[in-house]
Structure 1
Amino acid sequence: AARGVWARRHGLVSVLTVPVTARETTLGVVVLCRLGAAAPFSPDEQSIAEELVAHAAICLDNARRFTRERTTALTLQHSLLQQRPPRQAAVEVATRYVPASGQAGVGGDWYDVIPLSGTRVALVVGDVTGHGLHASVTMARLRTAVRTLADVDLPPDELLSHLDDLVISLNAEAGAWGSPRPEAGGGVEDSGFGGADPPLGAATLGTSLLDGQVFGDIGATCLYAVYDPIARRVALARAGHPVPAVRLPDGDVEFLDVPAGPPLGLGGLAFETVEVDLPAGSLLALFTDGLIESRHRDLDESLALLVSALTQAGSDLLAVSERVLGALTLHRPEDDVALLLARTRALGADQVANWEIAPDPACVADARRLAARQLARWGLDELVFVTELVVSELVTNAIRHGRPPIRLRLIRDSALTCEVSDSSSTAPHLRRARTMEEGGRGLMLVAQCATRWGTRHSSDGKTIWAEQALPTA
């Protein structure tokens, strides 16, 4: 009734109702009215209106899909990024992530802090090329791979080599998945969207496109660093990533000279690890290229702004990160920005004990006595029994199966770590001994008694380590 009153009052002549439909879904309705002395809508005008609304429906549908994808990508990325750095004593850490502007879409930047054996810590910053859900998913796969490889305790250059192989493998899978598949009728049907149709107006040529973004080849850069608070040294390697900056305790800021390895996914090219001594209190700044690359200024100006912000760094790392972002991201960044700040710490000499053990089975008892005496100095008498067992098994294995020199090291930090090193590269093998076997149970006992245990290799041989939780007060 109300509509009839309105129509009579305004002299309604003709009404044209056009549904806004995309992908067999009605998104809305467009209602066109003519009032007064105007002529009714003609068939030609109806056709024009339907065509205009059809184009608008395509735009609306693509906008809805883009918004949904961006929201999903942001949610996925935020859930995967480390929300709270793990507890470790090697470095003090602050991290920040700033997503790109809405037009650029969510990228594949990530950072990670990974505790390693021997109180060391791995610092990782990476960047997957492209934007959107595809970049976020790829970032998740690479981040998981880095954490897995870090758990194996590979040197930075070897870790990046394995990561490079993974990216090449992912590219091969993406190429096979995105390739056209002929149907019985000779058509092509493989949108590259996991069975879903691509957006209306998008082309499908082997790999899929969404607003000009190609889903196929994966490219990424990565910087991997391992800091040792006992040696006060950091080992770094990079794959096409910006070099890190370091602020020394005296206030000087410099960019570390790390060889520029190729981006991940090229294959056939080597990465190189460099080691740099860092005094305690040094501030490392690892970042993605979105922090320093901008169309509003050249690269040298960005680097100068970064140096200035780090030079004024105080004790609060969160405030330092805010200062860095404030100086370099005055405009909404065109690319994602990941920033990881790490202030180095050092373990004191009273927290570490080292001995060289003669390669003689009779010296195993001496190693046990040395360990027990050191635990008594540290006030850790509750751990003497288990530590003597671990030391006995690891030193015996090193004497029997390794090569001298054999070294025993105890580290007291957030946990008690026992390490036995030798110059052999042969890795130990954990196995379950048969009931009637007299040996073969050493590593099994270590694994049962320790909170964590593992092996790491170096150019000098290998180190077998085992951790125990400190007794609670």
Structure 2
Amino acid sequence: MERLPTHPGERPHESDASPGPARTATATATATATVDARGIVTGWSEGARQLLGYLPSEILGQPAARLLAAGAGVGTGAAALRDAAGQERWSGTVALRHRDGRRLRQELLAHRRTKDGPGTEWLVVSAVSAAPEGQASAPTPGGRTPEGTAPGAPAAGGGTSGSEAYGGEAYGGEAYGGGPPGSGQLGEWVFRQAPCVLAVFDADLRLVRANAGMEQALSLTEDQMRGLRLPEIAPHPVSDEAEAKMRRVLEGAGPQHLRPGAGPAGTGAEHGWSTSLVPLKDPAGRVRAVCLAAHPRRQEHLARQRMLLLSEASARIGTTADSGRTAQELADIAVPRLADFAAVDLLDAPRHGGEPSPAAPARPLSMTRAAVRSVLEDRPAPAAGGKTLYPALSPVARCLAQGHGALYDATDPGLVRWARQDPGAARLLGNGTHSVMVVPMRAHGATLGVALFGRSRRPEPFEADDLWLAEELTAKAAVGIHTARRDSREHTSTMTLQRSLLPQTLPDQQALDIATRYLPAGTRAGVGGDWFDVIPLSGARVALVVGDVVGHGIRASATMGRLRTAVRTLADVDLPPDELLTHLDDLVLHLSADEAGTDGAAESAGGIGTTCLYAVYDPVSRRCAFARAGHPPPAAVTPDGAVRFLDVPAGPPLGLGGLPFETFETDLPEGSLLALYTDGLLAARDHDIDEALDKMFAALARPARTLDTVCDRVLTAMLTHRPDDDIALLVARTRALHADRVAAWDLAFDPAIVARARRHATDQLTAWGLDDAAFITELTVSELVTNAIRYGRPPIQLRLIHEESTLTCEVFDSSSTAPHMRRARTFDEGGRGLLLVGQLARRWGTRHALTGKTVWAEQSLSPG
């Protein structure tokens, strides 16, 4: 009769009389148990019951130690626990106690794996003979034997073992005794010593033979694996894939192949394998077993490793402006992954010019050893910092003259002659060095030095691909060293950094017309950290930012980049202006704490003293909210030409901490002008502050067709020479969204109102001529209103805002609980609406007020 599967992945045993693949003389089963981190048995298979006699109800939830036979030394449970501690896999022979009291010595294989929940557990497997009910199970060669019986001895109920079925006569029928080898003995030698991974699995997909390659790849002996399925030997998705294809082979599908690069689990699949699964047939043509053969794809693996090393070098070489550090990074990344030793020598003065001369120089070359690295304890001399002198006709001088790298072996005449002439070269090429690469260091038309690589421990000589890799690595280091020597370009580099951190283009929005200017300082102190930004917000609103980081140079520019990024991040969550500056103040405090001890300049570390002005304009209400941290106040010009400073509370500069910021709100009629600037605009040499303010007011009040004209007039009136400090200027003219572009409805706190809300929305879209947007809008309105009723509090309001290219749907309720998108599980009844909104809308979010919140979703409108 059939034996039903007793644990996940176990396959029923078909009757021997059934058609299909032939069976081995002795069918095997697997005893499987799982033990949690506390040592409690949590899983028990039918094979485990056959092995030790315990029913699942008798052993589940019991300590696994109950199954161990008492005693001390090798084979005891205590020894097994000590050996398995800290490992991912363990195998060995353990003395177990049968339910009837018998003591059994059993070969076990245990894998540590992650459970479905937190923590880990052990999966313990062992191959046993499958015997009829009521009879003792016969041991497999790798399975159990009664205490004192030699492993592999015939057991009651006998049969032919796997090794007998697939060894011996199966390979020719000749005994493996002395004398000339017969075909059977030669076949066994071929199988055992084949230079690849070979394994044979019977008709039940249980291992019966494994060659030395398989044993070495899995670090398990044939006896430890015999009788187990591949997923039990090495649990891994690759093993499951291989077993599924072996089953297809048994079913007559013919040879199968694993996907390129995948090998047997545990065989170092990262090296790349070519794996085949072929049927083994008897003379009658019946499939008796499956042979797994895996061959490593060394060349593909080497190519992949070279590309990985080259990719890693991009991040590890040239991390600082120190040429010596860059040279050492080149040596460190090359050893030991490419070479056994590496040395980098730099010319005292770089040689500039076009194409290198093909002839070697007539005089010796003097260089300074910048870096050295070796796998040997005795590093090549001289050490870093010492002088090296290369003869005129040495391989180094010749490669520098030719401008490209070269490969040499230990017998090359030029290498031998160099070693005889130079004791330093003899030491460098000693210690069994058999292969050398010499690579010139060139960057931007200049020869900087040379890099030498050698192999002594690794038997493989360098190849052409290794030379290509060495040239690429050396080129990266040469660029870094060349850059580090360009100190005179620091000011230009800082300017480039500063401009790259400023907005390159202004974002599309319909609330404000905007023009900006940035002027760097003209003094030797260098570029400062002034910046401006324009950030579109939800509900058609726009945020304007102007800031001034204390200090000059790269440090001020980098701090400015951090603060600008932080402001954009905080603005994205719709924080009010005063709260945003409070969070920005905390960030500056953290930056100053991190940097205060680096150079003792605590007062300028992290941007302490930085000023900032943050404003949010709403074109629907035509109100603008401001907050400032030690920054000059903004100027406003009404449509009738009146100019005034807005009375925004000053607030302390950023980085002082402990002091509050206040928000100031004001109405701005449509067409009003706002001017935000940094203090460099008012710091003029030849007039006082009052005169400067008068000039700025006069320039702002003059009518102009464009805002660019306004910016140019202000700068022309205020500046008579290059500024001593950076200047950032932002001028904006307000627009308004009138009632014909905004629709709002107060909704009852009743689920039945959702359908009416959808009708309100679709009717309004029809009035706006936006019928194409009805589907997404209906879904958005339905989800947001339903969520507000289900999770919020009354009152509820729905609002639609129609801009030129966007449509925004907003739902307000008085609860402060914000919604969170999640992925619904298969049988969940809800949880998908907000996910759909997030997929269909261009963006969505939550905006909090003093009381309540607004959940909004913005969708793009197609042209026309």
TM-score normalised by length of structure 2: 0.44
In the other structure, the counterpart of 2:529 is 108
Measured in 1, the distance between the counterparts of 2:616 and 2:687 equals: 32
Measured in 2, the distance between the counterparts of 1:216 and 1:253 equals: 36
Measured in 2, the distance between the counterparts of 1:423 and 1:293 equals: 48
2:589/2:606 contact within 8 Å kept: no
1:432 equivalent to 2:853? Answer: no
1:409 equivalent to 2:409? Answer: no
1:366 equivalent to 2:756? Answer: yes
In the other structure, the counterpart of 1:265 is 655
Q: Displacement of 1:68 after TM fit? A: 2.3
Measured in 2, the distance between the counterparts of 1:259 and 1:68 equals: 42
In the other structure, the counterpart of 2:511 is 90
2:577/2:627 contact within 8 Å kept: yes
Residues 95-130 of structure 1, C-alpha deviations (whole Å, 9 max, x = no match): 000111132310000000011111100000000001
1:125/1:224 contact within 8 Å kept: yes
Partner of 2:620, secondary structure, is: coil
In the other structure, the counterpart of 1:385 is 775
Measured in 2, the distance between the counterparts of 1:207 and 1:128 equals: 15
1:134/1:215 contact within 8 Å kept: no
| Aligned-residue CA RMSD (Å) | 2.0
1:98/1:337 contact within 8 Å kept: yes
1:125 aligned partner, one-letter code: V
2:518/2:727 contact within 8 Å kept: yes
Q: Displacement of 1:207 after TM fit? A: 4.5
Measured in 2, the distance between the counterparts of 1:289 and 1:65 equals: 33
In the other structure, the counterpart of 2:565 is 144
1:469 equivalent to 2:846? Answer: no
Partner of 1:114, secondary structure, is: strand
1:460 equivalent to 2:851? Answer: yes
In the other structure, the counterpart of 1:160 is 581
Measured in 2, the distance between the counterparts of 1:315 and 1:254 equals: 21
Residues 207-233 of structure 1, C-alpha deviations (whole Å, 9 max, x = no match): 49xxxx966663310000000000001
1:451 equivalent to 2:842? Answer: yes
1:305 equivalent to 2:689? Answer: no
Relative distance call for 1:265 and 1:65 in structure 2 (3 A) is farther
Measured in 2, the distance between the counterparts of 1:66 and 1:335 equals: 23
1:115 aligned partner, one-letter code: P
1:381 aligned partner, one-letter code: D
In the other structure, the counterpart of 1:243 is 633
In the other structure, the counterpart of 1:127 is 548
Q: Displacement of 1:425 after TM fit? A: 1.0
Q: How many residues align?
A: 386
Q: Displacement of 1:25 after TM fit? A: 6.0
In the other structure, the counterpart of 2:26 is none
Q: Displacement of 1:383 after TM fit? A: 1.1
Partner of 2:713, secondary structure, is: helix
Residues 436-471 of structure 1, C-alpha deviations (whole Å, 9 max, x = no match): 111122211211121111111111311000011112
Q: Which has the higher contact order (CA 8 A, sep 6+)?
A: 1
2:609/2:654 contact within 8 Å kept: yes
1:430/1:444 contact within 8 Å kept: yes
| 89-98 or 454-463, which deviates more | 454-463
Partner of 1:261, secondary structure, is: coil
Partner of 1:455, secondary structure, is: strand
In the other structure, the counterpart of 1:197 is none
Measured in 1, the distance between the counterparts of 2:683 and 2:812 equals: 45
In the other structure, the counterpart of 1:421 is 812
Measured in 2, the distance between the counterparts of 1:134 and 1:125 equals: 19
1:358/1:405 contact within 8 Å kept: yes
Q: Displacement of 1:65 after TM fit? A: 7.0
1:243/1:255 contact within 8 Å kept: yes
Relative distance call for 1:279 and 1:66 in structure 2 (3 A) is farther
Structure 1 unaligned segments of length 5 or more: list them: 1-22, 29-63, 179-191, 193-205
In the other structure, the counterpart of 2:617 is 227
Q: Displacement of 1:399 after TM fit? A: 0.8
Partner of 2:518, secondary structure, is: strand
Measured in 1, the distance between the counterparts of 2:737 and 2:488 equals: 49
In the other structure, the counterpart of 1:42 is none
Residues 159-198 of structure 1, C-alpha deviations (whole Å, 9 max, x = no match): 000000000000011024x0xxxxxxxxxxxxx5xxxxxx
In the other structure, the counterpart of 1:256 is 646
| 459-468 or 90-99, which deviates more | 459-468
Residue pairs, 1:18-33, within 5 angstroms:
none
Relative distance call for 1:134 and 1:371 in structure 2 (3 A) is same
TM-score normalised by length of structure 1: 0.79
| 295-304 or 148-157, which deviates more | 295-304
1:145 aligned partner, one-letter code: A
1:101/1:335 contact within 8 Å kept: yes
2:852 aligned partner, one-letter code: G
In the other structure, the counterpart of 1:331 is 721
Relative distance call for 1:308 and 1:471 in structure 2 (3 A) is same
In the other structure, the counterpart of 1:61 is none
Q: Displacement of 1:72 after TM fit? A: 1.1
Measured in 2, the distance between the counterparts of 1:92 and 1:245 equals: 16
Measured in 2, the distance between the counterparts of 1:404 and 1:216 equals: 45
1:357 equivalent to 2:747? Answer: yes
2:556/2:607 contact within 8 Å kept: no
Measured in 1, the distance between the counterparts of 2:861 and 2:502 equals: 30
After the TM superposition, list the runs of 4 or more consecutive aligned residues in structure 1 that deviate by more than 3 angstroms.
23-28, 64-67, 213-218
Measured in 1, the distance between the counterparts of 2:703 and 2:578 equals: 31
Q: Displacement of 1:27 after TM fit? A: 9.6
Q: Displacement of 1:400 after TM fit? A: 1.2
Q: Displacement of 1:80 after TM fit? A: 1.5
Measured in 2, the distance between the counterparts of 1:207 and 1:288 equals: 24
Q: Displacement of 1:69 after TM fit? A: 2.2
Relative distance call for 1:402 and 1:99 in structure 2 (3 A) is same
In the other structure, the counterpart of 1:117 is 538
Partner of 1:361, secondary structure, is: coil
1:169 equivalent to 2:590? Answer: yes
In the other structure, the counterpart of 2:415 is none
| 440-449 or 253-262, which deviates more | 440-449
User: % of aligned pairs identical?
Assistant: 66
Question: Which structure: larger Rg?
Answer: 2
